[in-house]
Structure 1
Amino acid sequence: MPETTTHPYVGMWQTSDGHVRHELLPNGRYVEARGTRERAYTGRYVVTDDHIDYVDDTGFTADGDFIDGILHHAGMILRRTS
């Protein structure tokens, strides 16, 4: 059974235009959608305090920070939608 991650950041995050959407799943996995590509990227993530590290299934890494309820990732601003 997969380990679950319980923290306040689990859920859907998206840019103001809705083009980029990150769904942070409670099992430590994420799904990133871009435009009409619903599963553009998938992988795992780890949250440490207010910092998130992503490793997609191809091995690409990225990170971001949660500041005042907003996810700052790769020059983008994502807000929680659920």
Structure 2
Amino acid sequence: MSTQNVKPHPYVGMWVTKDGYIRHELLPTGRYDEARGKRKSAYQGQYTLVGDHIEYVDDTGFRADGDFRDSVLYHAGMVLYREK
């Protein structure tokens, strides 16, 4: 079976706080990379999506979650928007 025609999940991509300080890149591999300010890759780990809910597990084992509502990601008190 070929995976060339498989489209990534619609939430895959870059999500950014309004001030641009926090950036979550959701990769199509099920991994994420979070930048904070000038610190690229401040946190990295895996994520899973179930409907509009996201579960994060960083590489140290820390867990967090969030929800997508109306094209906005609400995560740990932060509000992130899809980067255009």
Structure 2 Cα separation of the partners of residues 67 and 45 of structure 1: 17
Identity over the aligned pairs, expressed in percent?
A: 65
1:5 deviates by 8.2
- Helix, strand or coil: the match of 1:26? coil
1:6 deviates by 2.5
2:39 to 37, 40, 47: 37
TM-score, normalised via structure 1 length: 0.92
1:10 to 5, 9, 12: 12
Contact 1:5 1:26 in 2 (8 A): no
TM-score, normalised via structure 2 length: 0.90
- Helix, strand or coil: the match of 1:21? strand
Structure 2 Cα separation of the partners of residues 49 and 16 of structure 1: 24
Structure 1 Cα separation of the partners of residues 49 and 71 of structure 2: 14
Q: Unaligned 5+ residue runs, structure 2? A: 1-5
Structure 1 Cα separation of the partners of residues 60 and 10 of structure 2: 27
> How many corresponding residue pairs?
79
RMSD: 1.4
Structure 1 Cα separation of the partners of residues 57 and 38 of structure 2: 22
Q: Unaligned 5+ residue runs, structure 1? A: none
